[in-house]
Amino acid sequence: MKVGDVFDLTLPPELAFGAKGRRASAGKPAIPPNATINYTLELSTIPGKERELLEDIEDADI
């Protein structure tokens, strides 16, 4: 996975909230029993990667 990559993920109920679902709570919506959950995942940054790139540039004989 590279910075900027976008993936659509689908979780079947047995990997998500299962037969119980989830009741709504502060800031969290209710999820009905046996719901399939769909996520869109985007990798926007890799923590610490910028520092490594700067160190590589500093170490290079340019």
28-40 pLDDT tens trace? 999 999 999 999 9
pLDDT tens readout for residues 2-59: 888 999 999 999 999 999 999 999 999 999 999 999 999 998 887 776 655 555 556 6
In the chain, the number of structural domains is 1
Q: Residue 51: give the domain boundaries.
A: 6-59
Long-range Cβ contact pairs of 29-37 (< 8 A, separation 24 or more):
36/10, 36/11, 36/12, 37/10, 37/11
In-domain check, residue 54 = yes
In-domain check, residue 1 = no
49's CB contacts (< 8 A; 6+ apart) are: 3
pTM of the full predicted structure?
A: 0.61
